[in-house]
Amino acid sequence: MYGIYTRPWGFEVSIVRRGVRYFQQFGKASYGGAEHALRQAQEWRDSIVRSVPPVARRERAEKLRASNTTGVPGVFCLVSPDGRGLSWLAKTYIAAEEILRANFPIHSWGDAARNLAIQERANQLKHMTGLAALHPAEEAIRKSHGAAPAAAGPPKRSRSEIMRKSNSSGVPGVHFKRPRPDHPGYWLAITYTAGKGSVSKAFSVKAHGYDEAKRLAAAERTRQLAQKGIG
């Protein structure tokens, strides 16, 4: 579940690379259930992990932190309590049990101490390899590249094909409407298209009867979806 967050309606994937957020949503209704939605979320997450790897460890180590006061990453000036410079330190974290350090006292090296620390820091960075470790799952995902994809699930449904909980007709996009209590009502077929608005058509219960108006609305909905390119 690395990078995948469970939501009441499905799953969200969120991964950040170099300040860029890769985000996608996978609804249970859109993919025919939680199992297929999760599988699609995992496959999309894996594709991002493989195609957009994290920054190299060395590159990250060379980034100047906001707290740095020397102007050189990994190089620090050690001072006495009264603010007098004592030495220049080059320090690089290679691994949990491997931290490279070299100290250049100012009383021994004078003004050259800073430049010596900078040179030492550059040499230390040569020992740093690999990518930044963001999560144990990342390496496993990258190593699994080329593995056989999971069995294909049902194709993603468009929003027009999703059955809403409030739907009482059994047909997505077909709804019974009654403007007021004494009105016989009508069946409405409506289809939304992103950026284009909606197409709708109503069938009066008074004119066609309840069942026939519903049938006509369902047929109209099928026609609307065909015109939209669905079905």
Cα 230 to Cα 30, 39, 89, 160, 223, distances in angstroms: 14, 24, 66, 9, 10
Q: Would you state the pLDDT for residue 70?
A: 85
- Range scoring the smallest mean pLDDT among 15-29, 61-75, 84-98, 137-151: 137-151
Tens-place pLDDT, residues 146-185: 555 555 555 565 554 555 666 666 778 898 999 999 999 9
Cα–Cα distance between 50 and 42 in angstroms, integer?
A: 12
Band of residue 27 on the pLDDT scale cut at 50, 70, 90: confident
Q: Would you state the pLDDT for residue 5?
A: 94
Q: Would you state the pLDDT for residue 95?
A: 84
Q: Tell me, what DSSP letter sits at residue 82?
A: T
Q: Would you state the pLDDT for residue 51?
A: 87
Distance of CA 58 to the CA centre of its chain: 25
Q: Would you state the pLDDT for residue 166?
A: 61
Cα 157 to Cα 88, 104, 108, 154, 163, distances in angstroms: 62, 66, 73, 8, 10
Average pLDDT over residues 50-69: 84
3-state secondary structure of 27: strand
Tens-place pLDDT, residues 80-134: 999 899 999 999 998 878 899 999 999 999 999 999 999 999 999 999 888 877 7
**Percentage of the chain with pLDDT > 90?**
44
- Does pTM top 0.75 for this prediction? no
Token pair, residue 219, equals 């047929």
Query: With contact defined as beta carbons under 8 Å apart, do 15 and 107 qualify?
Result: no
Average pLDDT, the chain: 85
* Measured distance between the N- and C-terminal CA atoms of the chain, rounded to whole angstroms: 33
Q: Would you state the pLDDT for residue 32?
A: 76
* DSSP secondary structure letters along 115-164: HHHHHHHHHHHTT--SB----HHHHHHHHTTTPPPPPP-PPPPPGGGPPP
Q: Which residues of 95-127 are buried (b: 16+ CB within 10 A; e: fewer)?
A: eeeeebebbbebeeeeeebbebbbebbeebbee
Band of residue 30 on the pLDDT scale cut at 50, 70, 90: confident
- Range scoring the smallest mean pLDDT among 2-6, 96-100, 138-142: 138-142
Q: Would you state the pLDDT for residue 14?
A: 93
Tens-place pLDDT, residues 47-58: 998 888 888 888
Band of residue 64 on the pLDDT scale cut at 50, 70, 90: confident
